[in-house]
Amino acid sequence: MSTAALLDVTSGPKPSRRARAAKTVNAALRGGVLAGAVAAIAWLLAVSLSATVFFVLIVATVLALIYTVVRGEKAGMGIWGLIAIAWALVLAEKWVVNENGGIIVAGAAWIGVVLGARRAGIAKKSMVLLLYPLIFLAVVIAAGESVADPWGVSWLWLLAVVVPVLGIRAVLNPRDHDTKPAAKPDPFADL
């Protein structure tokens, strides 16, 4: 028996296009949710660390003020340069992390969707479909809203990334709602 004949015997039926698409969408959703969850946890940790650093910097500023008052003219001004640099870094970090959390997490979720779809074997001709967040971008721009904060909430970008994948998953994996549970006998029928 030839090798090709053995492959035909052991391979079984090929999955349908719908089944392959459902597998790809499920993997893309898993990748997006996993990457989004990791990014959200990292964002929460960064925000909490930022609050701690902010508090420590307030204490350091007060201590530098006391040091300057106690030392008088002998106090070096280099400490105030360091404090100024630290405040600039903390304020920049607060702006980047706190103000753009939704965009950061949505970007990570979209990368997870793309990587999940690629790992599941999405066809190269279908890769362009993974640019679907651009539709939401076009809606935001057409509405004249801020791209960074559409309708005042940057977290809408996360919904723009995850919800379309959930919708496609619902279309490809429909639940059978037509089946009715078995009717239970009426306990009061004999009365």
pLDDT of residue 180: 62
pLDDT of residue 41: 94
Over the chain (191 residues), the average pLDDT of each successive run of 10 is: 54 80 92 94 90 92 91 82 91 84 92 94 90 92 89 87 92 69 73 71
Please state, in angstroms and rounded to a whole number, the distance separating the CA atoms of residues 124 and 134: 19
pLDDT of residue 115: 95
pLDDT of residue 177: 55
pLDDT of residue 128: 92
Cα 187 to Cα 50, 86, 180, 182, 191, distances in angstroms: 63, 75, 20, 15, 9
Q: Are 28 and 113 in contact (CB under 8 A)?
A: yes
Please state, in angstroms and rounded to a whole number, the distance separating the CA atoms of residues 77 and 63: 14
Q: Are 26 and 15 in contact (CB under 8 A)?
A: no
pLDDT of residue 74: 80
pLDDT of residue 39: 93
pLDDT of residue 86: 92
| Residues in CB range of 100: below 8 A, 6 or more apart | 148, 154
pLDDT of residue 139: 92
pLDDT of residue 87: 92
